[in-house]
Structure 1
């Protein structure tokens, strides 16, 4: 009984109220900025982890900050796309019926996934000042590997996302799953670069 009173006091404390307020501001009032921030952080962290692994494996000598910066910016552009994708999918297919969830998952995989991959490589091509042929070659050579991997990871993850997760937390959930995928994405994108160094 003593523990129950202690827990009740904690739940009624100002700190918990402030956390609730911050959460409400982040995930309601400024949801787009929150989603973009989460996506960019996940991309940056994924690249940082991948680079540390490459350093440990003696594939590179030191951390390339510009590479992480570029991956962070790609997280911003992909984060914007994901934010609006989830928003419009919920408008087009409201509710949590199995039929609507399957439609959302299929649209996410067949339409949005290739768009995200193209946007990812496109953002990096602009930042790296690559020409059109380099961009096109990268999408053809590396994009299919990411797309194949996405079919292994995202359909089951998105079933959970569309069925259980409230809409305002979908990009957050997506990025919790995506951290591992962001590491793999960084590896695929920079695989040749690492081997040449």
Structure 2
């Protein structure tokens, strides 16, 4: 009996939290929090793997914080992007979903990748030339990876997911992509061979 009462209280608190977190008033903050948190989790997972295989001597907290800050900028981009797409194309039919996917892949994905690298360059105090070199070396790799993951994920997102949950859904799918992004971002260049 006491367990049932406790469960009802917990459920009530969770319901109230859910209603507040996903209401229009707080949705931006919820989306940013989810994006920051999962970006940091993805980087931590990637660093754990790098430590296990001996590529990284210890966890780099600064790197994880930087990835979290990049999640903040991306969270803002995704929040407003999905609202804009839903404003332009409010229906949920096959044709509209395909249009949204194509716009997402051809407009938002390159913009998102550019924002990611720009945010990281600012945080790492990189020069304009270093930013350009990193974009040349790594942006296409991330963009090609986007095409393997996001069309199907966004089909589900735009067809089935309620608008207030789009960024949450996006970020849960993106956890694996965040691990890959961290790997690509911090991949060491091979040493030039001396002949």
- TM-score, normalised to structure 2, is 0.92
- Whole-Å Cα distance in 2 between the matches of residues 43 and 112 of structure 1? 18
> In structure 1, the residue corresponding to 2:85 is in which secondary structure?
helix
- Whole-Å Cα distance in 2 between the matches of residues 64 and 129 of structure 1? 17
1:24 aligns with 2:16: no
1:104 alignment partner in structure 2: 100
Gaps of 5+ in 1: 1-5
After TM superposition, list the pairs within 5 Å mapping 1:32-111 onto structure 2. 32-111=28-107
- Whole-Å Cα distance in 2 between the matches of residues 42 and 15 of structure 1? 24
Over residues 117-137 of structure 1, what are the superposed CA-to-partner deviations in whole Å (9 max), with x where a residue is unaligned? Answer: 000000000000001111111
Q: Which one has a larger percent helix, Structure 1 or Structure 2?
A: 1
- Whole-Å Cα distance in 1 between the matches of residues 128 and 88 of structure 2? 34
1:174 alignment partner in structure 2: 170
Gaps of 5+ in 2: none
Aligned residue-pair number: 188
* CA-CA distance at 1:98 after TM superposition: 1.1
* CA-CA distance at 1:26 after TM superposition: 0.3
Q: Pairwise CA RMSD of aligned residues?
A: 1.7
* CA-CA distance at 1:14 after TM superposition: 3.0
- Whole-Å Cα distance in 1 between the matches of residues 122 and 166 of structure 2? 28
Is 161-170 or 184-193 further displaced after alignment?
184-193
| Aligned with residue 160 of structure 2, among 146, 157, 164 | 164
- Whole-Å Cα distance in 1 between the matches of residues 164 and 9 of structure 2? 24
